[in-house]
Structure 1
Amino acid sequence: MKNKWAYGLVAVCGLVLAGCTTGGTDSSGDNAASSGTSDAEQVFNVVVSQEMPSADLSLATDTISFSALNNVYEGLYRLDADSTPQPAGAAEAAEVSEDGLTYTIKLREDAKWSNGDPVTAADYVYGWQRTVKPETASEYAYLYAPVKNAEAITAGDTDPSELGIKAVSDYELEITLEKATPYFDYLLAFPSFFPQNQKVVEENGDQYAATSDNAVYNGPFVLSGFDGAGTDTEWAYEKNDQYWDKDTVKLQTINVSVVKESATALNLFQDGQADDVILTGELAQQMANDEAFVSQPEATTSYLELNQRDEDSPFRNENLRKAISYAIDRDALVTSILGDGSIASSGLVPEGMTFSPTDNTDFTEAAGSVLEYNEDKAKEYWEKAKEELGIDSLEFDILASDTDSTKKI
């Protein structure tokens, strides 16, 4: 089992697994571009727990998709080993005005798309405008709120051409914000802010990024063998010979396979058919002392999102929502049900993700827990909800990912 790793997920867990990653990484969180050794076959086999929901930069919202997009695309910045933004598509760090509202960014002139087209400032302008315009219906368009006119554009009140980004020249961008945003550098390293090739997007229309052949890429790898969002169970990342920093990229191929059962994934790993798998629950505990086992913290918060869109939805009742929340024993959930090192969440922000700029206090410590398991309160609010809703019982469906840990939850 030399030179292979099996990972036990240590996440901040609540109810439904969801999250995102940034930076050029494989599924384990390592920088895929610099993985591998010079004296071995440069192929890495990765197992992930579910199909990729979207390969479209404007539409992706999940961990699997972002892991792929981070390997095949590149933005202005990328995160280094310390999660600090560093220039990537940008030739150097942005020049920021004294009031923090204007970012002037020079692009590297040797960056190309996988079809040979140069990556220019216009690609960023187009990609950003495509993501925020209401027709795209991007769930992550709200992340653009700091950018001038972004919210008005998404609301349909302003034309996308009024977004606070413009190409000063082929290789210089000017970004204007609504207000100074200390974390804006981090957004520039997030896939929703990556460039898009307008010619390729428009040529493919509604089939853009539907398969790996219907897109072009500017990252260290290109997507290969991807046949459809939500259905394909095998795809690959192939080294991008057009990438400006291709000499740093050691791996030639990363093969990705969807395996939803942890036991099956472990068997593939032990048979040498997989180099990186994620273990959960009992298997993580059983393999904890194996020399190949690595426990890697991951900042993820899982939660129930209750559908309140319909006027007659019972979840619009506040007392029902409180009853459900008080009924969840989060400590028992992570220790007795998951048993994989996850910890109970105290709110939406995970532990170890953000800290006070004055004394470095973890946000979760400063904010305190807003969650509580209390059987008596759960019963109290449930009785109030039943009376207000005129019901004696309630049945509802839960839509969740098809993985071992989610099924247990």
Structure 2
Amino acid sequence: MSSIWRTMRGIIAATALLATGLGTVALPAQAQKVLHRGNGAEPETLDPAKSSGVPESWLQYDLFDGLIMPDGKGGFFPAAAEKWDISPDGRVYTFHLRRNAKWSDGTPVTAQDWVFSWRRLVDPRTMADYAYFLWQVKNAQDITLGRKAPDTMGVRAVDDYTFEVTLASPTPHFVTMLHHHSTYALSKANVEKFGADFVKPGNLVTNGAYMLAEAVPQSHIKMVKNPHHYDAANTRIDTVFYYPTENQEAELKRFRAGELHFTYEVPVSQMQWLRENMPAELHTAPYFGTYYYAPNLTREPWKSSKDLRLALNLAVDRDILVDKINQRGEIPAYSFVPPNTTNYTQQIPDYARWTQAQRDAKAKELFAKAGYGPGGKPLELEILYNTQENHRKVAIAVASMWQQKLGIKVTLNNQEWKVFLSTRDEKKFKDITRHGWIGDYNDANNFLELLRGDIGKQNPSAFADPQFDLLMAEANTTSDTAKRATLLQQAERLMIEEMAVMPLHFYSSRHMVSPKLIGWVDNLQDHHPSRFLDVKP
């Protein structure tokens, strides 16, 4: 039994004894409800403008309300904004904010907070990985690139509860983007009061269903229900504990011991046993994302040799990865944009239809053409991945394929999550890095935008191609759905041809879910905000 459960039982027992001994002391009408969630890695930061990973987004869905928010079933609903109007030309969005919305310190959430926060995101001084996320807004890109001042951004507070946004050009999917954590508002007064320390427990002020109570590194993050939240009466969970656990075997043990209501992941090594012995608790479902490897295009030989990049890509047997290594229902990926993308046709290269033997033969031919292998130069490379058993197994398998088929000497380098993110984003990795992208909104643009030459740290391989950038720019300025899809499809074909990244598989979500949990719904984007969940006594 964990110390958490022992403590809870002790509190319950002590309360019962007190009530027995003192007839005038009344027990609460209903016991506090506590939710225990696995959350993968230690969070990079709780600052919604500066975080970039899924573990952070799960925390921020509880702490903050965006203009819209996920409903836990695969859809979205108006949250901080009750409604909005769109001008006839599709460029001006007027968000009508909830008048009963308050920060966790009881002060009103105002349009001035939204203006402050959006300017802060695109301000180059913030150094936000997701600054580009609001480049659709007038002048935002020029601000991030240092060409204009933050106060020129196309946002303004019409009054305390009316937030107006002017876009550079019509963007039909704009509203669907706004559940993303980078677009959340912060309390202007709170950030100005505490500076960089505003994210610390005791300082952080939030407008979501929960507020931060504790953040103990490598242990847990504790949240308690925000009494000032407009929908607090319908939030059933009183306290939420998040546990960062990079070791998935350890996380599974905690779940089986009753210490977690659901896990962040499921270890590959236990999938078959779990299917046979705990099928009701094992949840797998399609997940809107792509797992891939990225070469460092700021370094040689990757920068100059497309043949070398394609050789390595072809030599990876994706069927083995999904059927023998992962065994979790993933789909082999040869393109970047995943299936189930709205208004989009997948761009699948011809070699995806070849046999693996044909791909291997072509890989050897291209490897020799690039000057490597028998009669050529030897090649040594390093695969970087973040510490996790599933990533390690994939890296070992890929390394074995490259060694056996092409004679490459491969070394593996694993790093703790925060260090890994810095190494990867700053392009300090030597050769190849593990990467993954979960769609922030259901649109091909959300994936392809990453490969723009001006996107910065989020560009996984530092790919830069003027023609690709032109196609993306044109797609972002047309409101014709069919024309836009054609442009995005052309852009993806180009980046596949240039081998910007090496897609390996399309994700599936995998969780162990307790039968005591109420309200869990498997969904394409794997959103499960605590406010929509409940636990049985």
Report the TM-score range of the alignment, normalised by the length of the smaller protein.
Answer: 0.7 to 0.9
Name the SS of the counterpart of 1:157 in structure 2: coil
> Contact 1:346/1:370 (CA < 8 Å) preserved in 2?
no
Q: Give the secondary structure class of the aligned counterpart of 1:226.
A: strand
The answer (yes or no) to whether the contact 1:85–1:185 under 8 Å persists in 2 is: no
Partners of 1:242 and 1:366 in 2: how far apart? 45
Structure 1 residues 204 and 327: alpha-carbon distance in aligned structure 2, compared to 1, 3 A threshold: farther
**Contact 1:52-1:232 within 8 A present in 2 as well:** no
> Which aligned pairs between 1:312-323 and structure 2 lie closer than 5 A?
312=300, 314-323=302-311
Give 1:337's aligned residue: 325
Shift of 1:316: 4.1
**What secondary structure sits across from 1:91 in the alignment?**
strand
Residue 390 of structure 2 corresponds to 405
| Runs of 5+ unmatched residues, structure 1 | 1-37, 357-362
Equivalence for 2:201: 212
The alignment's C-alpha RMSD in Å is 2.3
- Cα–Cα, structure 1 residues 150 and 271, in superposed 2: closer, same or farther, change >3 Å? same
Aligned residue identity for 2:90: G
Q: Distance in 2 between matches of 1:370 and 1:237?
A: 50
Instruction: Name the larger-Rg structure.
Output: 2
Counterpart in the other structure of 1:303:
292
Q: Mapping of 1:269-308 within 5 angstroms?
A: 269-277=255-263, 278-289=265-276, 290=278, 291-308=280-297
Change (3 A) 1:233 1:377: farther
Query: What SS class does the counterpart of residue 386 from structure 2 fall into?
Result: coil
Aligned to 2:253: 267
Partner of 2:244: 258
Is contact 1:282–1:339 with CA below 8 Å preserved after alignment? no
234-243 or 101-110, larger mean C-alpha shift: 234-243
Displacement of 1:315: 4.0
- Aligned equivalent of 1:59: 50
Tell me the distance in 1 between the aligned counterparts of 2:141 and 2:60: 25
Which residue of 2 is the match for residue 394 of structure 1? 379
* Alpha-carbon distance between aligned partners in 1 of 2:212 and 2:383, rounded to the nearest angstrom: 32
Greater per-residue helix proportion: 2
* Distance in 2, Cα, partners of 1:315 & 1:78: 40
Q: Distance in 2 between matches of 1:215 and 1:54?
A: 12
Instruction: Tell me the CA shift for residue 161 of structure 1.
Output: 0.8
For the residues of structure 1 that align with 2:351 and 2:162, how far apart are their CA atoms? 47
Return the TM-score normalized by structure 2. 0.63
Residue 27 (structure 1) aligns with: none
Residue 201 of structure 1 aligns with an amino acid whose one-letter code is V
With over 3 angstroms needed to count, the CA separation of the structure-2 counterparts of 1:325 and 1:91, relative to structure 1, is same
The separation in 2 between residues aligned to 1:158 and 1:313, in whole angstroms, is: 37
8 Å contact kept, 2:221–2:241: yes
CA distance in 2, matches of 1:136, 1:107: 25
The alpha carbon displacement at 1:152 in A equals: 0.9
Q: What TM-score do you get using the length of structure 1 for normalisation?
A: 0.81
Structure 2: runs of 5+ lacking an equivalent? 1-28, 395-537
State the number of aligned residues.
357
Inter-partner Cα distance in structure 1 for 2:173 and 2:325: 36
> Deviation of residue 64 (structure 1)?
0.2
Aligned residue number for residue 129 of structure 1: 119
**Contact residue 284 and residue 328 of structure 2 kept, 8 A:** no
Q: Distance in 2 between matches of 1:334 and 1:297?
A: 13
Instruction: Supply the AA of the counterpart residue of 1:288.
Output: R
Using the TM superposition, give the Cα deviation of residue 387 of structure 1 relative to its aligned residue in structure 2, in angstroms. Answer: 6.0
Which of 71, 74, 77 matches 2:68?
77
**Counterpart of 1:176?**
166
Pairing 1:6-405 to 2, within 5 Å after superposition: 41-81=32-72, 83-92=74-83, 94-209=84-199, 211-227=200-216, 232-277=218-263, 278-289=265-276, 290=278, 291-310=280-299, 312=300, 314-352=302-340, 354-356=341-343, 363=344, 365-369=345-349, 372=352, 374-386=359-371, 392-405=377-390
SS at match of 1:304: strand
How many percent identity over aligned positions?
A: 29
CA distance in structure 2 between the aligned counterparts of 1:191 and 1:287, rounded to whole angstroms: 33
